[in-house]
Chain A
Amino acid sequence: MTSIAAISSPARRRKLVGAGRRQWIGLLYVAPAVALVVVFFIIPLCMTAWMSLHNWPLMGAHSFIGLDNYWAILRDTRFWNALKFTGYYTVVVTIAIFVVAFPLALFIERPRPLTGFYRTSFFMPAVIGFASASLLWSWLLNVDSGLFSPAAFELGLTEKKVNLLATFQPAFWSIIAMVVWKVAGFTMIILMTGLQSIPPDLQEAAMIDGAGPLARFRAITLPLMRRTLALALILSVAGSVLAFDQFYIILRGGPRNQTLTAVYWIFNQSFVSFKLGYGAALSMVLLVILVALSLIQLRLLRQPEGVD
């Protein structure tokens, strides 16, 4: 650019002005995208903050009430319970996903016959939606017409057909099983990209030095994959904190409202009780938690990764 600017013959300058105008056209190209993001994201985001300071029923006038909604949240034990449950679910499901996805990634990363078939099979549940997967499993988990309890009964494992969705523990672990089934393939692919970015000669050198598979995994694979691990972690944590579909479709928040997640509680407050202002305040709390989590995890991502 500087070399062009240095030559200042009139012809050049005219061309530069033309080029300058051509550059402005770029704004036109990005305008539709910016308009959509502003109308359907930025404005609603600002409105959430604004609404959270109001008593805002679905019908009728809304009134400014300052921070009252936020004070109400402090006393809203059911929201805190929902948040606690969401945190518990996030930790458990993220560990479960990694425990399944990491071995799968190691398994498909090595080329051998049928690898393509294995990879595709593991990944298939990831492309169907959470709603489809939840509907599917709500059938499999049904006590009368489903698969699991009748099969366990037929095999003589249980004395009668057990309703898996009637009590907290079996219901919770059923959801964990379903989510791991659906998401593990996705996490596996992310982890695989990390594994493939490790130079193979590094592993070979370690092998020649006599490092066993476990030592190699700890000294080479894990440290070199930190960025990929952090990314897989971000995606899994963010997805789990926002979990809704499976708890709504399979459990309806039950048994006894024990599986209400944060998003589910916000949904109930906003679109069942129509307390839009209060729902907005709850949303702000969730939003702050999520952005904080992402920022912490992004810091993890930023750290340099030894070899690049």
Chain B
Amino acid sequence: MAQARSRKRRIGMQIAEHATGIVASLLFLAPIVWTVLSAFKPAQESRQPPLPPWPTTGFSVENYATLNTFGDGLWLPAQNSIYVSVMTVVLSVIVSVLAGYGFSRFRFPLKNLLFVLILSTIMIPFQSILTPIFLVLTKIGLHNTLTGLVCVYVTLQLPFSIFMMRNAFDAVPREIEEAARMDGANNVTMLLRVMLPLVWPGIVTIALFAFLGAWNEFLAALVLMTDQSKFTLPIMMTALQSGRFGAIDWGAVQAGVTVMMVPCLVLFLLLQRFYIRGLMAGAVK
């Protein structure tokens, strides 16, 4: 009797727990789902409150077409965002793999000082040095260029990604290197052929963080990209939402937000364990 009752209670508990879990999940997912669904309403319907969130008068991509008529259209800022994010990924991976390898495997003067110098930049908010960054970019002729923005984003990624890569290289047993050196591998082939395959999970992690960082960054892009043709998606969408191109079209905002969110969500769902790994590495150390 008592056993049956306690079993019933356990099942009751489990149902309550899952009910809580599902309600909480829905709360977290709702704004995202609401936007993605609403973006597919016809323009007329988009002006009404999104109740219900899905299109009731027919499925349409009108909002995306409208979005494309503002300013320089949708494709140009999207292209800018893609260029900036991809370049940030490529450059920060190259620079941090080299630096991580250097800091892990070599002993040279000032090594610890340089490592601490790079890591300590994480304590200084980049928001407080934006004006001089602007002036430096002007000085070296990268003012108002996407390449200049990439340089800034790569620098912001370095403390985290170099820390990650140094730990990744540290975890590779030295015996492997010694064996490869016996076989006559020099430094470059060692890095490319022997080490890279062993540290690639770290590379995926830093690439993912670099992409999300660059794709989502707002303030630096707002300050440094003054020419409308250089706007990234967040800047272009904020301009649209502030009414810079005339009356605010909320349907276009939903479409734009969807375009901005979907790459992040897809990448995260595909590479979730690398993302969590990165967070853990940061949290444990």
* Chain A contacts to B: CB under 8 angstroms: 22-30, 32-34, 36-37, 39-45, 47-48, 51, 104, 107, 112, 114, 117-118, 120-125, 127-132, 135-140, 142, 144-147, 150-151, 154, 181, 184-186, 189-190, 193-194, 197, 228, 231, 238, 242, 244-245, 248-249, 252, 263, 266-267, 270-271, 276, 279-280, 283-284, 286-287, 290-291, 294
Residues of A within 8 A of B14 (CB): 112
The distance in angstroms between the C-alpha atoms of A156 and B95, with both chains bound, is 58
**Which of B51, B99, B187, B256 counts the most A-chain CB atoms under 10 A from its CB?**
B99
**A127-B102 in contact (CB<8A):** no
| Contact residues in A for B32 (Cβ distance below 8 Å) | 124-125, 128, 136
Q: How far is the CB of A86 from chain B (nearest CB, A)?
A: 12
The 29 listed contacts between A and B (C-beta, < 8 Å) are A25-B106, A28-B102, A29-B102, A34-B114, A43-B132, A44-B135, A47-B135, A48-B128, A104-B24, A112-B17, A120-B269, A121-B26, A123-B268, A128-B261, A128-B265, A132-B264, A135-B237, A135-B241, A140-B31, A145-B48, A147-B50, A181-B27, A189-B276, A190-B279, A242-B127, A244-B218, A249-B218, A284-B128, A291-B123
Interface size class of B (residues with CB under 8 A): 35 or more
B264 and A193 contacting across the interface, CB-CB below 8 Å: no
Is chain A's binding surface mostly helix, strand, loop or mixed? helix
Q: Is the CB of B106 within 8 A of A23?
A: yes
Choose one: A122, A244, A290; the contact of B24 (CB below 8 Å).
Answer: A122
Report whether B155 and A40 are in contact in the complex, using a CB–CB cutoff of 8 Å.
yes
Count the A-B residue pairs with Cβ separation under 8 angstroms: how many? Answer: 269
In B77-105, the 8 Å CB interface with A consists of: 94-96, 98-99, 101-103, 105
B223 touches A267 (CB 8 A): yes
B106 touching A276, Cβ below 8 Å: no
B124 proximal to A (CB < 8 A): yes
Q: Within 8 Å CB of A146, what residues of B? A: 49-50, 250
By a CB distance below 8 angstroms, the chain B residues around A291 are: 123-124
Pick the contact of A41 from B17, B129, B260 — CB < 8 Å?
A: B129
Which of B24, B49, B135 counts the most chain A CB atoms within 10 A?
Answer: B49
Q: Are A25 and B187 interface neighbours, CB within 8 A?
A: yes
Question: Residue A193 contacts which of B103, B215, B241, B283 (CB distance < 8 angstroms)?
Answer: B283
Task: Taking A197-B284, A294-B123 as given, write out 5 further A-B residue pairs in contact, using a Cβ cutoff of 8 Å, ordered by the A residue number.
Answer: A26-B108, A39-B155, A117-B25, A129-B216, A267-B219
Q: Distance (Å) between the CB of B152 and the closest chain A CB? A: 6
What are the 6 A-B residue pairs with the smallest beta carbon separation, nearest first?
Answer: A26-B106, A129-B216, A29-B102, A150-B49, A47-B132, A44-B132
Given contacts A41-B124, A130-B218, contact A125 B132 (CB under 8 A): no
* Cross-chain contact A107 with B21 (CB below 8 angstroms): yes
- Contact partners of A26 in chain B: CB under 8 A: 102-103, 105-108, 111
Determine whether the beta carbon of A41 is less than 8 Å from that of B49.
no
Give the residue of B109, B136, B268 whose beta carbon is less than 8 angstroms from that of A124: B268
Q: In the complex, A262 Cα to B242 Cα: how many Å?
A: 21
Shortest distance from the beta carbon of A26 to any chain B beta carbon, whole Å: 2
